[in-house]
Amino acid sequence: MSSKAALFDSPKKIRPGFVPWLLLIFSALVALALAAPMLFIVYQGLTADPSIWQRLWRLGRLQTLFINTFILTLIVTTGTLFLGVALAWLTERTNVPGKRWWTPLLSLPLLIPGYLLAIAYESFWSRWGLLAEVLTSWGMNDIAAIVPSITGLLGASIVLILSLYPYVYLLARAALRGVNTALEDTARTCGLNPRKFFWFMTLPLIRPSLVAAALLVAVMTMADYAVVARMGFPTFTNAVYSQLTTRLDRSTASVLSLALIVATVLLIMFQLYLWGKGRHYYRTSRQPIAPEASSSRGLMLILIVVLSAFLLPVGIFLYWMVQGWLHPTQANAIWGTGLADLLRFAWHGLLSAGSAATLALALALPMAYLSVRYRDRKFSRGFAWLSQAGLALPGVLVALGLALVLHRTLPELYFSVAALVIAYLILFFPFAFQTLESGLTQIPQSLEEAARMLRQKTVSVWRHVTLPLLVPGLMTAWVFVFTNALRELPATLLLRPPGFDTLPVRIWIAAGEGYLTQAAPAALLLIALSLPLLFLLDPVRTESKRTK
């Protein structure tokens, strides 16, 4: 019977192998659901009454927002690039004193979300600020009177640069480590002096990393709502937010959002183009390179950055917290600065962020598996792309999109914890997906095949081989989504159910009303809860761990 087939001259075709239909359908649904809010915004924006566009244009609103957003993004991106690369150079390639300590200290600002820095600075500077107060108490009234206030474009730029530079710093540092030092030695023997050599050799070599870092910073700047709101510098996110809260006008909000989405997509395409052009790595074993002598200016720069981006804001919040304890007021009870209240707000955050992180992993794992193990299948990459919408979507827009979707489908979910969790999911799912994808890529497929050859079915292979090996990736992804969701502000402000305040919301509202003594304890707690980020975001650290 069996050998009969062999008797035919050309044997019949065997049907092609297993197509993971279940995974494909699952991924399609998840990707669509995650992209739905953005698609709705685009749809709403495109179908909006043309008079809205005309009105916005005639009033000069669109133009102002475009120019404001563009200028801020440009300044912040340039500023973080300069600062980040300079600091990475100082700590990697020079013998600046105290090098060992600066490296971790310079990444500490990661712990402080931009809005906390904005709140701290707002209360610190200006003629009526904390600094002026201290100066006056020391009898230096003249100086106190000329303390500048930090607001507007200047304030937003300073705060965003100080809170976003660590991303550039960490990526640039990793890139500098990755550069083959033999290449640099060669350049030097060919007679390039150190300065020329930095501009013509090192910088081009680390360009791919810098472009990636610049993209990250630019997208985060465009997505920022809180810092620009605090500093009174209107950008798109602000405009959308105020349309949603004060005017309750979703059509105008959608039009503005569509403009922002288009701008973001254009920016991403431009940077991907740059990235693709300069993608060249020379990675081989490296030998330690002789550090250059550093000037005292380098040390000064590091000191100023560490001081202004980390020590000063933490110090300010500590000061306000101590003030709050020393002079308890009626407001304390209203604003809930007691331990029990703090824990309640934290619990809200843990609950929603924890659910979002767990859900993100559950949804990302099958998709990442499909994307890594069935790379050749037509749609798997497409779904992966679609699900990354959150990367380019500011929290304010996610809230708007979700409002649009829920309004039409499940109105009872609007203003519920579920809506909040979905918003976090949309915003931070891309991180979970990317982490798991790279984790799975590191597990050789032959391990799964080996398990199958040892008589194990698919489920058993997953349980005994794939999942145990993926544990570090799963943990990283969970903590990353969790911490980011815990710190999320604008979407939480817009979507939270009444009474479900999280730490960022409490800090934001209290600070907005000028009750800094009441905001400070929550701010410090939030900074402490962000600590795991420090370990996850350092590529140098994770790389060295991997090589062990």
Partner 1 sequence: MSAPNVILQLDKVTKAYGDHSANALGPLSLQVISGEFTVIVGPSGCGKTTLLRLIAGLERPDAGTIILNGNPVASFSKWVAPEERPIGMVFQDYSLFPHLTVERNIYFGLKKKNLDSKQIQHIENLFDLLGLKTLRSRYPHELSGGEQQRVAVARALAHQPALILFDEPFSNLDAHLRPRMRRELKKLLRELKSTALFVTHDQTEAIELADRMAVLRAGQLEQLDTPELIYRCPATRFVAKFVGEADFIRGLLQPNLLETELGNFAIRTSTKLATQEVDVMVDPRSLELTPLSGNISSEKQAQIVLRQFRGAEILYALRLPSGQELRAITIASRSFSEGEFVQVKLSSLPAIYYQNKRFDLV
Cα separation, 48 vs 69, in Å, equals: 23
* b/e burial code for range 226-235 (CB count within 10 A of at least 16 → b): bbbbbbebbb
Pick 382 or 472: Cβ nearer partner 1: 472
Stretch that binds partner 1, among 36-44, 89-97, 443-451, 534-542 (CB under 8 A): 443-451
Q: How far is the CB of 462 from partner 1 (least distance, A)?
A: 13
Amino acid at 437: E
Stretch that binds partner 1, among 1-9, 53-61, 86-94, 386-394 (CB under 8 A): 1-9
Q: How far is CA 242 from the centre of its chain?
A: 23
Stretch that binds partner 1, among 51-59, 135-143, 240-248, 445-453 (CB under 8 A): 445-453
Cα separation, 354 vs 485, in Å, equals: 8
> Where do we find the tokens 């009870």?
333
Q: Looking only at residues 39 through 58 of this chain, which bind partner 1 when binding is defined by CB under 8 A? A: none
Q: How far is the CB of 461 from partner 1 (least distance, A)?
A: 8
Q: How far is the CB of 10 from partner 1 (least distance, A)?
A: 7
The 400-439 contact track toward partner 1, x by CB under 8 A, reads: ----------------------------------------
Cα separation, 236 vs 262, in Å, equals: 12
* Angle, helices 99-107/296-306, rounded to nearest 10 degrees: 30
Give burial (CB, 10 Å; 0-12/13-18/19+) of 219: buried
Per CB under 8 A, 269 contacts partner 1: no
Give burial (CB, 10 Å; 0-12/13-18/19+) of 255: buried
Of 247, 279, 375, 464, the residue at the interface with partner 1 (CB under 8 A) is 464
Per CB under 8 A, 468 contacts partner 1: yes
Per CB under 8 A, 449 contacts partner 1: yes
Stretch that binds partner 1, among 186-194, 303-311, 447-455, 488-496 (CB under 8 A): 447-455
> Where do we find the tokens 């209203």?
334
Cα separation, 207 vs 84, in Å, equals: 13
Q: How far is the CB of 364 from partner 1 (least distance, A)?
A: 21
Of 46, 74, 454, 531, the residue at the interface with partner 1 (CB under 8 A) is 454
Q: How far is the CB of 475 from partner 1 (least distance, A)?
A: 14
Give the list of residues 6+ apart from residue 135 with CB closer than 8 angstroms, or none: 141, 143, 144, 147
Please report which residue ranges of 192-295 form alpha helices under DSSP H: 194-197, 203-205, 207-223, 226-231, 236-242, 250-277
Q: How far is the CB of 376 from partner 1 (least distance, A)?
A: 8
C-beta separation of 118 from 149 below 8 A:
no
DSSP 8-state assignment for residue 409: S
CB atoms within 10 A of CB 490: 28
C-beta separation of 405 from 40 below 8 A:
yes
Of 465, 520, 523, 527, the residue at the interface with partner 1 (CB under 8 A) is 465
Per CB under 8 A, 137 contacts partner 1: no
Pick 295 or 460: Cβ nearer partner 1: 460
Per CB under 8 A, 375 contacts partner 1: no
Kindly state the tokens that stand for 357: 């992180």
Per CB under 8 A, 452 contacts partner 1: yes
β-bridge mates for residue 111, sequence order: none
Cα separation, 260 vs 237, in Å, equals: 8
Return phi, psi of residue 94, to 5°: -125, 170
> Cα separations (Å) of 229 from 164, 357, 507?
17, 28, 14
Per CB under 8 A, 330 contacts partner 1: no
Pick 4 or 297: Cβ nearer partner 1: 4
Pick 11 or 288: Cβ nearer partner 1: 11
Q: How far is the CB of 443 from partner 1 (least distance, A)?
A: 9
β-bridge mates for residue 94, sequence order: 292
Q: How far is the CB of 381 from partner 1 (least distance, A)?
A: 16
C-beta separation of 398 from 427 below 8 A:
yes
> Left, alpha or beta for 302 (phi > 0: left; psi -120 to 50: alpha)?
alpha
Pick 453 or 528: Cβ nearer partner 1: 453
> If binding means CB under 8 A, how many residues of this protein chain bind partner 1?
28
Stretch that binds partner 1, among 5-13, 92-100, 200-208, 247-255 (CB under 8 A): 5-13
Stretch that binds partner 1, among 165-173, 380-388, 459-467, 519-527 (CB under 8 A): 459-467
Of 94, 149, 416, 456, the residue at the interface with partner 1 (CB under 8 A) is 456
Per CB under 8 A, 5 contacts partner 1: yes
DSSP SS3 for 292: strand
Per CB under 8 A, 143 contacts partner 1: no
Per CB under 8 A, 372 contacts partner 1: no
Per CB under 8 A, 457 contacts partner 1: yes
* Angle, helices 339-373/467-487, rounded to nearest 10 degrees: 130
Per CB under 8 A, 455 contacts partner 1: yes
Q: How far is the CB of 358 from partner 1 (least distance, A)?
A: 23
C-beta separation of 199 from 186 below 8 A:
no
Q: How far is the CB of 478 from partner 1 (least distance, A)?
A: 19
Per CB under 8 A, 97 contacts partner 1: no
* Residues near partner 1, by CB under 8 A: 2-3, 5-6, 10-14, 16-17, 444, 446-447, 449-457, 460, 464-465, 468-469
